[in-house]
Structure 1
Amino acid sequence: MIKRLMLLACFFPGFSMASPPADVGRLRYDERRLPLVDVQIDNRLHTLMLDTGSAEGIHLYQHDLERLVAQPSLKAVRLAPRRLRDLSGGENQVPAWRISRLFIGYIPFNDVEVVSFKPWGLSLGNELPVSEVMGLGLFRDRKVLMDFENDRLQMLTHLPSDIAIWASYPFEQTDEGLSVTAFVGNKPLRLIVDTGASHSLLFAAGLPAGLLFSGCRSIEPEAENLDCRVTRFTLTDRRGRHHNDLAIVTEGPTSEALGFDGLLGMGFMRGHRVIVDMPERMLYISR
């Protein structure tokens, strides 16, 4: 019988002893090229922006939040209001709930923190994101594939067989988010992995003296050069391979006030497969 089962596994390539990825949904992108995913939550369709810069699980419009937590079967527990800050210096206090088990599509998530959505962010223009949000808090203890090459969002039970050739960056899980180390010159900087940021961002106060800058058009072709300053930073993976990229420099809040030096945005991840391995605290990027 054992030999027969082994033969069946050989003749049917779809048969696998490992669990296949759990498909959350297909990714698409808004006008800022930020990732969106359309999902069913409690039999209602929601469009959520995928934002690893948010520590909460889900941000829903207030009327959707009230309808969701009113479902007796979800046994929602009200939490203390959450105080949310953004890079523009804005601060919002929003109601928060915890749901012990919530299905998003066909995938169950445990201990999901759901908060009321309020637009936030730092923008070159005047428009802030208006989509509801899927945040990092949803993926606690999970391996998450954000496939920006094939436009899929999946939960993994194991890493791909070719993971050894991916670029890998250890991260520290902090109150602010997933922090990776980058360099500008010889100076180390703490960047928060943020799929809700169109471009990487560095705070001017944390940069070394004598740095050269380019105009804004080098990173955003539709902008005017005087709209922002841009500089280059480097990430080095565990195998010692260097990857250079561009970041917008802002005079905004200081690193000391926020606890980090900038954001690792979609400019670094766009067009690649990205895995956040929460248990092992590792960021993988296919390059």
Structure 2
Amino acid sequence: MVKTRKRLLWFGVALILLGATSTLLWKTFFYKEKAYFAILPVKITRANLPCVDVMVEGKTYPVVIDLGSRFGLYVNTGVLKNFNKKRCGIEKWRNLRGKGFKYPKYTLSKLEMGSLIFQKPVVVSTPEKEGSVCVIWQGENEEKLPSENIGHIGRELLKNVNLLFDIKRSVTIATNDWDVLKSEGYEMDSFIKVPFSLKRNGMIVRVETDLGQLKLILDTGSTLTLLKDSMLPKDKEVSIGYHGLSSMNSGRFVVGGVDFGSQELTFLKMTDKLRDIDGLLGMDFIQNHVIYVDFSKKILYIQPPKE
């Protein structure tokens, strides 16, 4: 009787191990390799940020694709109040200048972006007046105009897919299938491979400039390429832009060993707590180059500049 019980026990353990192994094999050879593809038309906002449509509860809303935001989604309070949602806590964070924020967060049932479906995304509620310090408007009256989007979709959701940005063609493509990208006209084997490190602050890329090597966060939610104002050089020509910020032109801008030519660098006062970065690589660079973000391998693929 005892031997029979032991045999049944070992048989049960074997079944559990077999089930776990089968699940692991399924995830390894099927789930992770499953191809996905979605073409997302992009509109550029007045602040020069990429905006795509998402669907919540059968209705379509414009949101900014924001690789600089660690959140999955943040939405204006006035719009969010119309969604069916479940409170799931409080989100605290600080912006580049060190200003602190604390707002409630909620869980939605799902979010659709093209053919992609994100289940139970967490959304942070933010007042519309709380604009990003990285958004540089085109004129003093621009902020009085109605908002062009309801919020931003960020890395917590976007890191689950690989994204190609082709702003000149007004498109973002979510896919892990290079054959599909080739059929769309993108020769990925010719792109420059640039590794990035993914930290809490963002996706950090190393760039060589006239000011030396910089560690910049790839940020589609930033209008300009921004550096800490503490890096403002005293021995180089500096100008003041329409936005009232100091800027300079770097004659070289080397990413992945390739010089992309001159690049405007704008200086902004940032908190001293951002010790592991020098600034942001913004849309003034991203919009001019096709960039494929491979989150799974932590590699950027950038189309080489035309000679």
Report the TM-score when normalising by structure 2: 0.72
Q: Does 1:284 align with 2:284?
A: no
What pairs up with 1:98-137 in 2 under 5 angstroms? 98-99=107-108, 101-110=110-119, 112-118=121-127, 119-122=130-133, 123=136, 130=147, 131=149, 132-137=151-156
Deviations 1:43-102 (A, max 9, x none): 1121111211111111112244344343xxxxx5x4331113222433221112345753
Query: Do the aligned partners of residues 93 and 20 (structure 1) sit closer, same or farther apart at CA in structure 2, a change above 3 Å counting?
Result: closer
Q: Tell me the amino acid that sits aligned with residue 38 of structure 2.
A: A
When structure 1 is superposed on structure 2, of 155-164 and 190-199 the one drifting more is 155-164
Residues 206-285 of structure 1: pairs in structure 2 closer than 5 A: 206=231, 210-217=234-241, 223=242, 227-232=245-250, 234-238=252-256, 240-244=257-261, 245-250=263-268, 252-254=269-271, 256-257=273-274, 259-285=276-302
| CA separation of 1:20 and 1:92: change in aligned 2, threshold 3 A | closer
Of residues 262-271 and 229-238 in structure 1, the stretch that sits farther from structure 2 once superposed is 229-238
Q: Distance in 2 between matches of 1:233 and 1:59?
A: 37
Q: Deviations over 1:190-225 (max 9, x none)?
A: 111111111100113246x654133245xxxxx28x
Name the counterpart of 1:87: 96
Deviation string, structure 1 residues 134-172 (Cα, Å, up to 9, x no partner): 212211232112221211122102234421222332111
CA contact under 8 A between 1:60 and 1:116: conserved in structure 2?
yes
| From 201, 218, 238, the counterpart of 2:226 | 201
- Give the aligned partner of residue 138 of structure 1: 157
Q: Distance in 2 between matches of 1:210 and 1:279?
A: 41
1:234–1:243 Cα contact (<8 Å) kept: yes
Aligned with residue 154 of structure 1, among 147, 156, 173: 173
Q: Secondary structure at the match of 1:268?
A: helix
* Distance verdict in 2 for CA 1:20–1:115, change over 3 Å: closer
> What one-letter code is carried by the residue in structure 2 that aligns with 1:21?
F
Residues 1:183 and 1:211: Cα distance change in structure 2 (over 3 Å)? farther
Partner amino acid for 1:171?
F
- Aligned residue identity for 2:154: G
CA distance in 2, matches of 1:111, 1:164: 36
Query: Which 5+ residue runs of structure 2 have no aligned equivalent?
Result: 1-33
Gaps of 5+ in 1: 1-17, 71-75, 218-222
Structure having the higher strand fraction is 1
Q: CA RMSD in A?
A: 2.8
Q: Indicate how the Cα distance of structure 1 residues 257 and 236 shifts in structure 2: closer, same or farther if over 3 A, else same.
A: closer
**Is the 1:167–1:286 contact (alpha carbons within 8 Å) kept by the matching residues of 2?**
yes
Q: Which moved more, 1:262-271 or 1:33-42?
A: 33-42
Q: Percent identity?
A: 23
Change (3 A) 1:67 1:169: same
Helix, strand or coil: the match of 1:121? coil
Mapped to 2, the partners of 1:111 and 1:170 lie a distance apart of 30
1-structure distance, mates of 2:252, 2:271: 21
In 2, Cα distance between the equivalents of 1:265 and 1:103? 26
Paired position in structure 2 for 1:54: 69
- Return the letter of the residue paired with 2:174: M
What does the per-residue CA deviation read over 1:221-269, in whole Å, with 9 as the maximum and x for residues that have no partner?
Answer: xx28x6523242754344x21224211022x124544532100001111
Q: Residues 56 and 110 of structure 2 are in contact (CA less than 8 Å); yes or no, is this contact kept in structure 1? A: no
After superposition, the C-alpha distances for 1:16-52 in whole angstroms (9 at most, x for unaligned) are xx957212x3111121221111232221121111211
Alignment check: 8 A CA contact 1:205 1:254 kept = no
Number of aligned pairs? 254
C-alpha displacement at 1:108, in angstroms? 1.2
Change (3 A) 1:151 1:200: same
For residue 179 of structure 1, the aligned residue among 198, 201, 204 is 204
Max Rg structure: 2
